[in-house]
Amino acid sequence: MSAAVLRLAGVRKRFGETEVLQGIDLTVDRHEVVALIGASGSGKSTLLRAINLLEPIDDGQIHLGDEDISDPRADADAVRARIGVVFQHYNLFPHLSVLDNVTLAARRVHHVPRREAEQRARDLLDGIGLGDKAKEFPDRLSGGQQQRAAIVRAIATDPELLLLDEVTSALDPELVGEVLELVRQLKAGGTTIIMATHEMAFARDVADRVVFLDHGVIAEAGPPAQLFGAPQQQRTKEFLARFSGWTPSAP
């Protein structure tokens, strides 16, 4: 078996007249952290949703491990059980406690006994300083705590791949750091991650590879030092220039 967790080949997606994904080729290796950057509307969310089979694609293939998950015969629920996903907001079920949120997939989808699922969930919540919030409902948590709980829920079943779609975009600035710190911890623990983000400094610091999406095309991809430090494409330079404080020579 290859080290690739995910392989996209020629992935195309159209909404009406607009081709939102125009032939995406992307391979993500085990333990790799890929930052997906690009302007609003460039197709980042559509790409992540396609990987999680929330958007049927019009052309191309998506392999998760050795399975062609773009095959219409693929079992979408079984595929989604192998992928963790966290969106920008509204990730937690409001009527369930944090503990029940985190254990739900383990119990319902993976049929882990409740005691075992709860022990694992408590260990994970303790590990991120949310042990005392286990029995609270999500609305009693700050936005940053909710997003961290959502990330813990997404990894509670040890997915092969974690998709993060702008998980800090809806947060007050002072809460962004704690969520990014958790992503950093997951990377250190070897989690394979694709994250759409506008946090350029974080992408530069943590990602193994940065993929710049422009109007549904991968305009440029490479290690962060190269993409941020010496972008090759004019449109990459223009995109990065819009983020204040960014200069090609910044450390």
Q: Catalog residues that contact ligand ADP under the rule CB under 6 A.
A: 15, 20, 38, 40-46
Q: Which does 41 bind (CB under 5 to 8 A by kind): Mg ion, ligand ADP, none?
A: ligand ADP
Give CA separation, 22 vs 9, 52, 87, 237, in Å. 11, 18, 23, 21
Residue 46 or residue 101: which is nearer to ligand ADP going by CB?
Answer: 46
Q: Residue 82: phi, psi to the nearest 5?
A: -100, -5
CB of 186 to Mg ion, least distance (A): 21
CB of 219 to ligand ADP, least distance (A): 13
Q: Which does 46 bind (CB under 5 to 8 A by kind): ligand ADP, Mg ion, none?
A: ligand ADP
Residue 38 or residue 84: which is nearer to ligand ADP going by CB?
Answer: 38
Residue 51 or residue 162: which is nearer to ligand ADP going by CB?
Answer: 51
CB of 54 to ligand ADP, least distance (A): 10
CB of 44 to ligand ADP, least distance (A): 3
Q: In the sheet where 4-15 sits, what is the strand order?
A: 18-29, 4-15, 59-64, 67-68
Sites for Mg ion among residues 25-64 (CB under 5 A) = 44-45
Note the residues at the interface with Mg ion (CB under 5 A).
Answer: 44-45
